[in-house]
């Protein structure tokens, strides 16, 4: 009896269509009981279900092509041991710090022309930290490329990703098209624009902004009239990043209207922009005076200030009235990553930790020296590495200042220092960091442990660096 026939009996009812006797070795039910036929039907269904599941034919898997021979050498054994030790908690307790050390070490491995040994491949290519994953793929060698192909099949792409794909697939496709033909990508967006929700229109504009083209200006200008405020803001941001755009020129022309500079009288007068229709179309909607001024200052690249104001920025930053907008100018420097404007502000005596991420050279040294040291750690985490020697020495001098109740030793500053110093000096720096503990016997246990962790990171960096560059020994 087939499963289909059994299902037919169940549909009609065992009382109307008797169940044939099945030789399946099932328990017998007393025919006198009213539920006997139903129980026999259920027993038979269960038995046949097992048979059906067990009889499914397995598919023959496609043969796996072996990985090609490796062409690059493995690193020295001491380097491999130290790198493997970072995969789990050990001397370096923080997972985030271990990931940073692994990423750095994998970069050294690539520079040395070596590859990961096979036993570390899977753990690093599939590491939870995406930056470690990316660094490991670059040094995975032939076996690493082979492993990615056989273990991570790509998500099936729809026949037409632009029309049928998910939002992420559509944006990825748009990015790919823009890389080859900016105009074609823009035309794709224009065709879908009126039928797309505001959130997707914003995503389209941000994708276009990743690779702006002069031909985008007309489309972006039309987006300034969009019904969605978020779309209008995205359009103005993109136009502000487009060199030579009319939007940039309009915003630059507004700059002399808000900053009246009189070098003869050594005075700067700040005037709020007017919310006329043209300004509102370009994004002006602020009632707060500072926000209104910032709208103009951030829309114009700081290197263009002299062209519109007719005077070099450093010549008016220190005169009367300019101090009123120093904070706003600092925000503009951060937004545009403008180290020169940051340096000019520091030169006239402005000090704010907000400038630390963009300041460089002597301006950065002055900020680190003059600012409250408790705020330096987080702000220095994103400084380009390796640090210049004078920055590292300045930070150490700040750490060596006497510890008092109102100015405790900022242990969190030792971590960016440990990751920032040059790798070939890490061993010496480990001892210098430990001296902070030796010379401050009354440090709280948490501060002491954090400093010692920084020293440990330096020791690990030194081990990785020296073992890789010393070679087999």
pLDDT for 407 equals 82
pTM (2 d.p.)? 0.77
Tens-level pLDDT at each residue, the chain (473 residues): 566 666 666 656 666 666 666 666 667 776 777 677 777 777 777 777 766 666 556 666 677 788 999 999 999 999 999 999 999 999 999 999 999 999 999 999 999 999 999 999 989 999 999 999 999 999 999 999 998 888 865 556 667 888 888 899 999 999 999 999 999 999 999 999 999 999 999 999 999 999 999 999 999 999 999 999 999 999 999 999 999 999 999 999 999 999 999 999 999 998 888 778 888 899 887 667 678 888 889 899 999 999 999 999 999 999 999 999 999 999 999 999 999 999 999 999 999 999 999 999 999 999 999 999 988 999 899 899 999 999 999 999 999 998 877 888 899 999 999 999 999 999 999 999 999 999 888 889 999 999 999 999 999 999 999 999 985 54
pLDDT at res. 182: 94
Secondary structure of the chain in HEC code, one letter for each residue = CCHHHHHHHHHHCCCCCCCCCCCCCCCCCCCCCCCHHHHHHHHHHHHHHHHHHHCCCCCCCCCCCCCCCCCCCCCCHHHHHHHHCCCCCCCCCCHHHHHHHHHHHHHHHHHCCCCCCHHHHHHHHCCCCHHHHHHHHHCCHHHHHHHHHHHCCCCCCCCCHHHHCCHHHHHHHHHHHHHHCHHHHHHHHHHHHHHCCHHHHHHHHHHHHCCCCHHHHHHHHHHCCCCCHHHHHHHHHHHHCCCCCHHHHHHHHHHHHHEEEECCCCEEEECCCCCCHHHHHCCCCCCCHHHHHHHHHHHCCHHHHHHHHCCCHHHHCCCECHHHHHHHHHHHHHHCCCHHHHHHHHHCCCCCHHHCCCCCHHHHHHHHHHCCHHHHHHHHCCCCCCCCHHHHHHHHHHHCCCCECCECCCHHHHHHHHHHCCHHHHHHHHHHHHHHHHCCCCCCHHHHHHHHHHHHHHHHHHHHHHHHHHCCC
């Amino acid at each position: 009896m087939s499963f289909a026939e059994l299902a037919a009996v169940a549909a009609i009812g065992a009382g109307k269509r008797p169940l044939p006797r099945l030789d399946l070795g099932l328990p017998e039910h007393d025919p006198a009981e009213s539920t006997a036929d139903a129980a026999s039907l259920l027993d038979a269904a269960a038995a046949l279900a097992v048979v059906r599941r067990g009889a499914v034919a397995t598919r023959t898997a496609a043969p796996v092509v072996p990985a090609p021979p490796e062409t690059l050498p493995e690193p020295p054994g001491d380097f491999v041991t130290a790198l493997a030790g970072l995969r789990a908690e050990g001397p370096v307790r923080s997972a985030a710090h271990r990931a940073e050390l692994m990423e750095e070490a994998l970069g050294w491995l690539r520079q040395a022309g070596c590859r990961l040994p096979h036993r570390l491949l899977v753990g690093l290519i599939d590491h939870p930290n995406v930056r470690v994953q990316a660094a490991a793929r670059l040094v995975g060698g032939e076996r690493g490329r082979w492993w990615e192909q056989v273990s991570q099949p790509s998500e099936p792409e729809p026949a037409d990703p632009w029309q049928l794909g998910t939002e992420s697939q559509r944006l990825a496709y748009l990015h790919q098209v823009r890389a080859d033909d900016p105009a074609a990508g823009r035309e794709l967006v224009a065709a879908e624009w009126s039928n797309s929700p505001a959130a997707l229109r914003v995503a389209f504009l941000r994708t276009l902004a990743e690779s702006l083209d002069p031909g985008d200006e007309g489309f972006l200008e039309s987006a300034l009239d969009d019904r969605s405020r978020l779309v209008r803001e995205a359009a103005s941001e993109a136009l502000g990043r487009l060199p030579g755009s009319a939007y940039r020129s309009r915003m630059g022309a507004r700059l002399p209207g808000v900053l009246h500079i009189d070098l003869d009288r050594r005075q700067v007068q700040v005037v709020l922009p007017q919310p006329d229709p043209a300004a509102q179309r370009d994004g002006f909607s602020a009632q707060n005076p500072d926000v209104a001024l910032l709208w103009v200052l951030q829309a114009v690249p700081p290197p263009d200030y002299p062209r519109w104001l007719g005077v070099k920025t450093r010549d008016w930053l220190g005169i009367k009235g300019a101090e009123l907008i120093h904070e706003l100018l600092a925000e503009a420097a951060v937004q545009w990553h403008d180290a020169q404007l940051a340096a000019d502000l520091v030169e006239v005596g402005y000090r704010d930790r907000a400038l630390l991420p963009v300041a460089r050279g002597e301006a950065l040294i002055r900020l680190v020296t003059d600012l409250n040291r408790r705020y330096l750690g987080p702000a220095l985490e994103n400084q380009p590495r390796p640090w210049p020697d004078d920055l590292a020495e300045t930070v150490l001098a700040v750490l060596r200042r006497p510890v008092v109740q109102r100015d405790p030793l900022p242990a969190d500053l030792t971590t960016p220092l440990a990751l920032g110093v040059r790798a070939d000096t890490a061993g010496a720096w480990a001892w210098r960091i430990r001296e902070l503990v030796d010379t401050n016997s009354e440090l709280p246990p948490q501060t002491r442990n954090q400093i010692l962790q920084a020293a440990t990171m330096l020791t690990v960096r030194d081990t990785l660096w020296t073992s890789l560059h010393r070679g087999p020994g």
